[in-house]
Amino acid sequence: MTALTPENILNTVRTWQSADLALLQNSYCALSMTNKKFNNFQNFTANLGDTVTYNAPYRFRAYPGLVITKQPTTQRVETITCAQTYNSAISYTSQQLMFNVDQYLNEIGKNEIAELGAVVETDLLLNFIGQMQVEDTQADNFGTVYTNNGGFRFWGDGVNSLNTYQQFQQGVENFKNFGAASQNMRVVFPNTVQPAVIGNGLNQFAPTRNNTTAMSWEVGSFGGVEYYTSNLLPIHVAGTIGDASTAGNNLLTVVSTNDPTGQNVTEITCTEPTSGTDANAIKIGDLGVFVDGISGKPNMRFRHFIGHTVSQQPVQMFITNDAATTAGTVTIKIRTINGVGLVWAANANQNLNYPIQAGMKIKIMPSHIAGNIDSGNQFYLSMPRLPDQPPYATSSEQDKESGASLRHYYGAAFGENNLSYVRDLIFGAGLLPDNSMRWLWPLTP
């Protein structure tokens, strides 16, 4: 009889595990929509450590004529690091378990899973603003760090809400105009916006669509795009320049760049109109855009990601540094895709229609709620199975459909009248900048 006891306990853990995974995967959109290609990458041949690398699409130029122009082949490497860990643990004395808790353990477990799912979802959605959370073991808390994840392009101004089908479709078309994979196009937007979108849509003469949305009160899908809502979207808090900017004032004026040849501009030095000193002028994750209609200056437009012809999209950028103004001067560091800023030189990374010139104006976007559009199934999640915890009864399961992994183990501290139940997980994620674009909603509905 003694030999059978561990197996009986393990079956109990596995039963709970199945229910836990079902709750985890069905509760949140990012966990279900991410690409699980790199789950259990620790089992890949020759892969050591907690980071996996993968190749982003290669970039080339096509040149006119039959006389060849040789060009380099550059491997564009992106990384995913499994650095995010969470646990939820509970413990009871024998008396508490027997008289007060035992019949409620299943319900207690559901609430633990809901909490774990929320923090995982929140961390995954941070990729929309180029962030991730990592554990600071010395301080015993979590800190936010910036990565090369997330889009450098954006739709919306952070002041006026995006709440109509037309605005949604315009954002999709802007995304496609620059260049994007045509498959698996998904938008994530705030759940509080959905009633306005549906309400505005019901005022249009679109009987088939409106009959469907009126029944579900969900945007669902249209135009080949799947729409998801979330109540956990990240908030980006901009610097003072962004929060004070409007279409015509508090703009930055370009003075110079770190690369006058235009091979790869990653720093732009500007002046701002207050001529003051402000430690909080620019924040990492701020977004900037070159302003049209500046006297004597051309309107800046992105070139298409593939083909390198001029698109209709204004030149935008992701700012990678906190920056202070000193006597009205500030230097912003920028990126578009990983390792690349703004490029005028005619190479595979060229993305500008004109070189950056002194006197051009840049608007920094204000604080906002960040949604996202991505395509090509290039929002990656790695959530490997954690190892068993002998001698404790353990189950570490991975759902075949969602890729979500969760470990559950429990056991008694010998001679201490204490029984602990633990659920924990580990994961890492990455959102390819090439195929993503941030959508901006105001902080106030």
Per-position DSSP letters for 257-293, written without gaps between them? ES-TT-S-B-EEEEE-TT---EEEEE-TT-EEEEPS-
249 and 304: one domain? Answer: yes
Q: Could you tell me the two tokens for 234?
A: 């990240």
CA 380 to CA 443: how far, in whole Å?
28
Q: Which of 38-52, 95-109, 202-216 has the lowest mean pLDDT?
A: 202-216
175 belongs to a structural domain: no
189 belongs to a structural domain: no
Candidates 40, 161, 86, 77; CA nearest to 338 is 77
Residues 422-434: pLDDT tens digits? 988 888 888 999 8
296 and 413: one domain? Answer: no
From 335, 366, 397, the end of a domain falls on 366
Q: In this model, does residue 136 exceed pLDDT 60?
A: no
Q: What's the start-to-end Cα distance of the chain, in Å?
A: 63
Q: What is the pLDDT of residue 396?
A: 78
Range of the domain at 288: 238-366
Instruction: Match 């009248």 to its residue by tokens.
Output: 417
Give buried/exposed letters for 184-195 (b at 16+ CB in 10 A, else e): bbbbbbbeebbe
Q: What is the pLDDT of residue 203?
A: 63
Residue 314: give its domain's CATH number: 2.40.30
Average pLDDT, the chain: 83
| Backbone region of residue 56 per phi and psi (left: phi > 0; alpha: psi in -120 to 50; beta: other values) | beta
Q: What is the pLDDT of residue 6?
A: 31
274 and 322: one domain? Answer: yes
Helix/strand/coil for 127: helix
Q: How many structural domains are present in the chain?
A: 2
| Reported confidence tier of residue 200, pLDDT bands at 50, 70, 90 | confident
Q: In this model, does residue 317 exceed pLDDT 50?
A: yes
